[in-house]
Amino acid sequence: TNHADVFIRGELLSFAADPGHNDRPAPGSIEHHEDGLLWLKGGHIHAIGHYEHLVTTLPPGADVRDYRGKLVMPGFIDSHVHYVQLDIMASYGRQLLDWLNEYTFPEECRFQDAEHAQTLSQAFLDEMLRAGTTTAQVFGSSHPASIDAFFSESRARGLRMLAGKVMMDRNAPNALLDGTRGVADTERLIADWHGRDRLGYSVTPRFAPTSTAAQMDAAGALLRNDESLWLQTHLAENKGELAWVAELFPSSRDYLAVYEKAGLVGPKSTFAHGVHLDDSMRKRLAANGAHIAFCPSSNLFLGSGLFDREAAHRAGMAFTYASDIGAGTDLSGFGTLKSAYQVGQLCQQPLTAWQGFYALTHGNARTLSLDHAIGQLTPSMEADFVVIDPHATPLLARRIERCTSLGEKLFALMILADDRAVFETWANGECQHRRDDH
């Protein structure tokens, strides 16, 4: 497509590096322009700087959009989410295994219908953009058509997305089991979608209880064949799940060893949850460059437990932040950070707003191996960003007026903001969501 240059004046914030865990961000970790100018060209960021400096270099007649009073950040990234579970969010009162059987599996059966998959793909992407999320790593159902629909809708909007068809060949309703087709369908989807425009394929065995060792071995073979693929699954979320895995794999030294044996633990592997890990598992994940997706609102909703960020840090194990819809209660990155803060408080591990917003942007991009393309407002990056309105509601406006520093303002947003504070969401250099149009 042919993009005209776009010029945006407003407050700009981007993270060049991990700000660390102190109250003040590490020197050089943030790029902040209180009165900044962002110059987009061809769907990418061409230049960023102080308005006064950069404005002198603009072509004659440049039409500068005035977003003063708003805060522009890189688009939020959600490292683990199930688009097929959008309609079962907020289903009452069960822990993981009952919740899967009572709500999740029946819901996922509906994605046999390609039309339903398309409708839900559209609804899900609308919600993501409304929440300021421009990239996610997404589970479909076990039906390949669920991923054809998702990638097709993502591509039509020019979004950078990772996704995969769930592989599951046991311990679930027959309508969801893919048997030996699981591998062939995955290969077909990889051939059709992986690396096309901004899309990437994530091989997706659901979790050890619903895949045979043979299916997980086959998933591992796909990864060995093509190092550019991602992998996503679940690990150590819930105590009942741990007991079940121990029963199903009696000779395995622990849960992670099941995945290690199949060759699923590598630098592009995301393991959702990791609430119940020991130091051996953390260190083995770290040694292989794999990471955990921390899903705080989901862990609170299903009563799964409190993710130990400090232990992860000590073991050198990376982790990302994720909504895990439909068990998560909030598609919004603000909501994920608010829950992460609450989990942190219960563990005496407070989360600064610097850490939080770094994680949602550059941090998640880096850990997902997407930082060459997204996560920062720097020249040559793809132009995916969110325009935040800190005065979106009367309450938020009152609270923001009290703030005397950027750190305080970010913290207030992390706790109080929701999709109402997302004024616009841009992806691929185009405005994809405008709050006041909806």
Using CB under 6 A, which of 82, 130, 338, 433 touches ligand GUN? 82
- Determine contact, residues 149/83, Cβ cutoff 8 Å: no
Beta-ladder partners of 318? 291
Residue 216 CB, nearest approach to ligand GUN (Å): 14
Q: Should residue 9 be labelled a site residue for ligand GUN when binding is judged by CB under 6 A? A: no
Q: How far is the CB of 359 from ligand GUN (least distance, A)?
A: 20
- Selection from ligand GUN, Zn ion, none that 9 binds (CB < 5 to 8 A by kind) is none
Partner from Zn ion, ligand GUN, none contacting 382, C-beta within 5 to 8 A by type: none
Three-state SS for 23? coil
Q: Which stretch binds Zn ion (CB under 5 A): 281-289, 320-328, 383-391, 395-403?
A: 320-328
User: In terms of Cα–Cα distance, which of 429, 436, 405 is closest to 75?
Assistant: 429
Contact 389, 67 (CB under 8 A): no
**Which of the stretches 47-55, 171-179, 306-314, 316-324 binds Zn ion when contact is defined by CB under 5 A?**
316-324
Nearer to Zn ion, 87 or 197 (CB): 87
**Of residues 208 and 422, the one with the C-beta less far from ligand GUN:** 208
Binding mask 24-63 for ligand GUN (x = CB under 6 A): ----------------------------------------
178 touching Zn ion, by CB under 5 A: no
Which listed range, 222-230, 307-315, 322-330, 428-436, lies at the site for Zn ion (CB under 5 A)?
A: 322-330
- Taking Cα atoms as reference points, which of 336, 427, 422, 348 lies closest to residue 382? 427
If DSSP codes are grouped into helix, strand and coil, which group holds residue 405? coil
**Interaction pattern, residues 285-304, with ligand GUN; x per rule: CB under 6 A:** -------------x------
Interaction of residue 207 with ligand GUN, rule CB under 6 A: yes
- Residues 330, 357 contacting (CB under 8 angstroms): no
173-196: burial string, b at 16+ Cβ within 10 Å, e else:
eeebbbeeebbebbeebbeebbee
Cα–Cα dist 89/418, whole Å:
17
**Which parts of 140-169 interact with ligand GUN (CB under 6 A)?**
none
Joined tokens for residue 337: 């950070």
Cβ pair 185, 201 in contact under 8 A: no
Lookup result for tokens 């999320």: 133
Question: Is 272 near Zn ion (CB under 5 A)?
Answer: yes
- The tokens describing 196, both together, are 């096309």
The residue to which tokens 């992860």 are assigned: 312
Full strand arrangement of the beta sheet holding 422-427: 44-50, 30-41, 6-15, 64-74, 385-388, 422-427, 430-434
The answer to the question of residue 206 lying near ligand GUN (CB under 6 A) is yes
Distances in Å between the Cα of 389 and the Cα atoms of 161, 338, 355, 415, 423 are: 25, 18, 20, 15, 6
Pick from 306, 410, 318: nearest CA to 348: 306
Task: Find the shortest distance in angstroms from Cβ 123 to ligand GUN.
Answer: 18
Site string for ligand GUN, 219-238 (x = CB under 6 A): ---------------x--x-
The footprint of Zn ion on this chain (CB under 5 A) covers a number of residues equal to 2
Task: Find which of Zn ion, ligand GUN, none residue 160 binds, CB within 5 to 8 Å per kind.
Answer: none
Q: Which of 11, 178, 185, 324 binds Zn ion (CB under 5 A)?
A: 324
3-class SS at 385? strand
Name the minimum Å distance from CB 422 to Zn ion.
Answer: 24
- Within 131-200, residue ranges assigned H as helices are 144-156, 181-193
Minimum CB separation of residue 98 from ligand GUN in Å reads 12
Region from 102-110, 129-137, 271-279, 409-417 binding Zn ion, contact rule CB under 5 A? 271-279
The residue range among 46-54, 96-104, 217-225, 420-428 that interacts with ligand GUN, by the rule CB under 6 A, is: 96-104
The residue among 78 and 324 lying less far from Zn ion, judged by its C-beta, is 324
Please give the Cα distance from 247 to 331 (Å, whole number). 34
**Residue of 324, 382, 389, 424 interacting with ligand GUN (CB under 6 A):** 324
Closer residue to Zn ion, CB minimum distance, 139 or 354: 139
Q: Show the site string, 248-287: x = touches ligand GUN by CB under 6 A, - = not.
A: ----------------------------------------
**Type of residue numbered 314:** R
Q: Could you tell me which residues are beta bridge partners of residue 33?
A: 12
Closest CA to 80 of 305, 270, 278, 276: 270
Binding residues (CB under 6 A) for ligand GUN: these are 82, 96, 100, 104, 206-207, 234, 237, 298, 324, 327
